[in-house]
Amino acid sequence: RYRLKWLCVACAVIGSCCRAVVLFAMLLLRAAWCLTLAAVAFCHSPEDSHSAGCRSGKLPLGAKLGQTMTFDGIFGGAKRRWHVHVPLSYKTDVAVPLVMATHGWHDTAKAYEPDSGLSVLSEIHGYIVVYPEAMADHAGAHRESWGGWNVVGSSIGVGPLGPTCYPWADPGVSLCYRSCSPCTQKPHCQWSSCVNDVTPSGVGTSNVTGFLPMLFDDLEEKYCIDRQRLYATGLSNGGMAAYQLGVSMAHRLAAIAPVCGSFMKGFVQAPSIPLPVMDVHGFFDSSVPPNGTATSSDGYFYTEVSSIFDGWRKSNKCHDHGKDVALKHWPTPVDGEKDLYCISEGTSCAAPVVRCGWSGPHGSFAKGLGNGIPNARLVWSFLSQFKSEPVRKAEHTTRSSEKDHASLTVYSKLGSPLPLATGQEAQPEALSATVLATAASEQPLLPAAFAS
């Protein structure tokens, strides 16, 4: 009886110990699981995509909700200008997408804004739009409005396949920008400024320290931006800038939508990683032709869209690049307007390669309907579908990963320097953004017909 009693006691003790061991093991497993979840949450927290501007708690000096404000600054020793539209719905602690919209040659950002329709549509979808001004350092006083982006070989003139224009297209010194002087090339096929807009040469993926990448940096510092939703679009030479940004900043952008854009002959490029792209062209575009020889009516040589997309499908890991390409309808909210039809090229692509055509000439989609909204609906319906890869917090001040990346020195309206971000140093070749709200343009209320 005593033996049985001690046996029961021993079993009870052993059972308690086993339960304790099991409970302790379960607690360890639960703690490990919680730590794993915490680590995942830390690494992939939504806040990782929030820009530094989300911590400011206020609008930047000169910005106004529901309006487009104009800002001036100095980059590379030259005055630059950009316009920023912030929607009425903007909150200083809620990260929003950022769209960069670049105007065409011999145009201005202020004129392109209503043509693009993007500011009006931003009041529905809540994104911020920036409209940079291209450098207009033309030698002729009467041509100071001839702004031109140094991208896709526009400032080089002669490439691997020879000159980028016919000899009879040579305008001589009439298209000589001061930043390109002396203009002695024969034939003279350069037709844009030579300043550093994306890279110093206007092509390639190294030394991405130009005005446009720095402007992305500046806006991220000042506004609450979702860094996984940075987009680029533009018209004509601005569409070429969007293409170049897609190549040079592929690791940073989420998608691009060039309108009437291309690459100069011999300068076609593709991103090093998959990047969604939508090309928009009018069927009757003779200024930057999308098909055939891609030679403009004024004698300049561009690259047909099919050749651009050959490289882009390869970058986007489409399974049938270089073979018979699978085509499929890409639906948009403006299908059928002006005979618009879009197709996606390739099979099982890591990112879509989309081409849109419409019954019209060189210009924004459905230009002539009065308000640019069809163009904005087409562009935003594509861009808004995509996000870039998560951005690590440590990458915030080293996005370009270039040793000579120019730092950003920001000044207040009165010219007194504001504190720089931690770890930044002011460099001589900085974008000294003198934040001057030199002009403001009220945006019209959304048309009732579109709002419905």
Of the candidates 314, 294, 312, the one whose C-alpha atom is nearest the C-alpha of residue 303 is 294
- Strands 255-259 and 225-235 come out as parallel
Task: Return the ∠ at Cα 204 (arms to 363 and 420), rounded to 5°.
Answer: 95
**What's the pLDDT score for residue 369?**
59
Q: DSSP letters along 52-77, please?
A: GGGGT-SPPTT--TTEEEEEEEEETT
Residue that has been written with the tokens 């986007």 in this structure: 316
Running along the chain, 452 residues long, what does each successive block of 10 average in pLDDT? 55 59 66 54 58 94 96 92 97 97 93 95 98 85 73 94 91 77 87 95 96 97 97 98 98 98 97 98 95 91 96 93 84 96 96 97 80 94 94 44 41 30 30 34 32 29
CA distance 278 to 383: 9
Token digits of residue 16: 């308690």
**What's the pTM?**
0.80
pLDDT at 20: 60
Look up residue 183 and give its two tokens.
């203009």
